[in-house]
Amino acid sequence: MSSAHGEIHAHGDGHAHEEGFWRKYIFSTDHKVIGIQYGLAAMAFLLLGFGLMLLMRWQIAFPGIQIPLIGKALTQDGVLSPELYNQFGAMHGTIMVFLGVVPMAVGAFGNYMLPLQIGAQDMAFPKLNMASFWVNFVGGLIMLGSFLMPGGAPQSGWTSYPPLANIAPPSQTAWLIGMVFLITSSLLGSVNFIVTAIQLRAPGLSFFRLPFFVWTQLVTAFLLLLAFPPLEAAGVLQLMDRVAGTSFFMPSGLVVSGEILSNAGGGNPLLWQHLFWFLAHPEVYVLILPAMGIVGEIIVTNTRKPMYGYNTAVYAIIFLGFMSFIVWAHHMFMTGMGTAISSFFQATTMIISIPSVIILTIFLLTLWGASIRYTVPMLFALAFLPMFAIGGLTGLPLGLTASDIYLHDTYYVIGHFHYVVSPGTLLALMGGFYHWFPKITGKMFNQTLGKLHFWGTFIGMNGIFGPMLLVGMAGVSRRLYDASIYQAAKSVQPLNVVMTYSSWFLAAAQILFLVNLFISLRKPKTPAAENPWESTTLEWTAPTPPLPHQNFPVPPHVYRGPYEYNTTSREFAPQALQEV
């Protein structure tokens, strides 16, 4: 094997394309610009969603006490009102899932990296790609605008269960319309991703030479493509209920505020739950699969070993994607749908944990006997493993009907899925940010700040979600504005204080991240950013940053699998390297 720096990429001639500011940065069709647009928008939404939660956490830990500094700006007495609490709760979920994590994992990382990793010049449909971002953006604006509507923002939870959502203030209609925009955006994106990954692979890049990240994005795109439309259908039905007075989700004789509603009735509120969770369970895998892809890339690069059982990992995520369509009703064990149906979904839920365990085991076995480099992205990737394991294992009692009866709708559920999405997915996304930042910008970030950011985030997240599992096991309901009025919740109230302080600690750690980002962006470009992790996949053979619009000066040709590393020497074989 020969060391591969500089041999395989002829440097771009750097000829400037004559594009105006608007074409170049705003309405660009370049997948890299669109990826960065997605990334910036998603980062803003993640911070906003986190901010809403900081305010809610204050109320949970210190019920009825004025919020410091900004309380007076929110309400007259400076205390978070129950109405605002409900609005923030619904919007925290909506923003984090649909406008934060998915646009970051798929829109930003997928858009930027997928064409590069398969050696393509751009996505298959560049204009659709641009449309996808802007439709998403409009959806985001509608969601934000709903805060200003009479009656306040949507407040029926991110799940928008009817009949509550049917009789909610007008902003619920805005929520539904906003969702239609977000679904349209994801439809455009997922078609684009699949076509790109299938049609535009570089010569020699067969399916089983694809980097693991591309596989995860491909399966994710299929989930988005096929799982979102039923939610769109449900959204249309709820919109009809709210606007045209139909009763799809309204049972007969519903009493609201002491009066029987005059609608025709005969509808089925559970129908919404089925349609919603038919999306929202695959959505969980939309949140976690790209994270697994990123972690796979980082771990393999920093262990200097090929991925242990790459083919098995690929089959595992395909199976995972398939299974994710038939587990949805494990969110609905308490709805009284019957033991036969519950048993079916309990069984499929146990089965779907198997591919996740396979993937986690593959990552662990990749670490075995490796010469591990503890770089900043590697810290995040390593932390992902136990965090995702906790998230997965705490899910088992929820997937079994008997134990779910006790844990359902308590803080345990919140702790469980946040362990998957927050210390799981978000840690992976942060790791991915550090992993690819040098290639995207041509600059290196500050390692010390990066490590501090890691430890702050890791400790902060565990400080929030660890105690949350305990609070849930004590039986505290997840929807209470002030749980401390209940005797059972009093004993665990000190844990809520710990969680709230941890959330501030987590916020402080994110300030380190933002500081690092701005300092690094102001630094001059360095050749050290060309391939700092000595990685083999195609994106590292592109110029730094990759050329606008065409990525590679010469279209690459692939000669080998994705991860040809060597634990005993520093040599490695990039995919585009021809001779050994």
Partner 1 sequence: MSVVIPYVSKPHPVTGVTNAKLGIWLFLASEVMLFGALFSSLIVLRVGSTDWPVGSTILNVPLAFVNTIILITSSLTMVMAWASLKLNNLGKYKMYMGLTILLSFAFLVVKYFEYSAKIHHGLSPATSNFLGIYFTMTGLHGLHIIGGIVVNAYLWIPGAKMWHSDPERFTGRVEVAGLYWHFVDLVWIFLFPTLYLL
Q: How far is the CB of 323 from partner 1 (least distance, A)?
A: 17
Q: Annotate each residue in 79-98 with x if it binds partner 1 (CB under 8 A) or - if it does not, as one string.
A: --------------------
DSSP letters, 247-263, are -TT--TT-EETTEE--S
Of the candidate residues 56, 101, 108, 187, the single one contacting partner 1 (CB under 8 A): 187
Q: How far is the CB of 321 from partner 1 (least distance, A)?
A: 14
Burial class of residue 156, CB neighbours in 10 A (0-12, 13-18, 19+): buried
Closest CA to 302 of 482, 35, 567, 44: 567
Of the candidate residues 143, 275, 291, 352, the single one contacting partner 1 (CB under 8 A): 275
Closest CA to 313 of 413, 168, 244, 214: 214
- The single-letter DSSP state of residue 110 is I
Nearer to partner 1, 278 or 540 (CB): 278
Q: Which of residues 416-455 bind partner 1 (CB under 8 A)?
A: none
Nearer to partner 1, 156 or 247 (CB): 247
* Positive/negative CA dihedral, 132, 136, 137, 142: positive
556 binds partner 1 (CB under 8 A): no
264 binds partner 1 (CB under 8 A): yes
> What is the C-alpha separation between 294 and 217, in angstroms, rounded?
10
267 binds partner 1 (CB under 8 A): yes
Nearer to partner 1, 38 or 276 (CB): 276
> What is the C-alpha separation between 365 and 446, in angstroms, rounded?
30
225 binds partner 1 (CB under 8 A): yes
Q: Which stretch binds partner 1 (CB under 8 A): 267-275, 440-448, 478-486, 514-522?
A: 267-275
Q: How far is the CB of 429 from partner 1 (least distance, A)?
A: 26
Closest CA to 551 of 165, 200, 40: 200
111 binds partner 1 (CB under 8 A): no
Q: Tokens 């609005």 — which residue?
A: 87
Tokens (6 digits) for 78: 């400076």
Of the candidate residues 94, 146, 171, 190, the single one contacting partner 1 (CB under 8 A): 190
Do residues 512 and 449 touch, judged by C-beta distance below 8 A?
Answer: yes
Q: How many binding residues for partner 1 (CB under 8 A)?
A: 44
Q: How far is the CB of 558 from partner 1 (least distance, A)?
A: 14
Burial class of residue 251, CB neighbours in 10 A (0-12, 13-18, 19+): middle
H helix runs in 146-211, sequence order:
171-199
125 binds partner 1 (CB under 8 A): yes
Task: Give me the amino acid identity at 377.
Answer: P
Helix axes 427-441, 269-303, angle to 10 degrees: 60
226 binds partner 1 (CB under 8 A): yes
Of the candidate residues 550, 557, 560, 571, the single one contacting partner 1 (CB under 8 A): 550
Nearer to partner 1, 82 or 265 (CB): 265
218 binds partner 1 (CB under 8 A): no
Q: Which stretch binds partner 1 (CB under 8 A): 159-167, 230-238, 448-456, 472-480?
A: 230-238
Nearer to partner 1, 187 or 254 (CB): 187
Tokens (6 digits) for 53: 């939660």
246 binds partner 1 (CB under 8 A): yes
> What is the C-alpha separation between 359 and 385, in angstroms, rounded?
10
Tokens (6 digits) for 318: 């395909």
Tokens (6 digits) for 177: 């319309």
Do residues 414 and 468 touch, judged by C-beta distance below 8 A?
Answer: yes
Q: How far is the CB of 30 from partner 1 (least distance, A)?
A: 8
Of the candidate residues 200, 400, 498, 515, the single one contacting partner 1 (CB under 8 A): 200
Contact positions vs partner 1 (CB under 8 A): 17, 19, 121-122, 124-126, 187, 190-192, 194-195, 198-200, 225-230, 232-234, 236-237, 240, 244-248, 263-264, 266-268, 271, 274-275, 278, 549-550
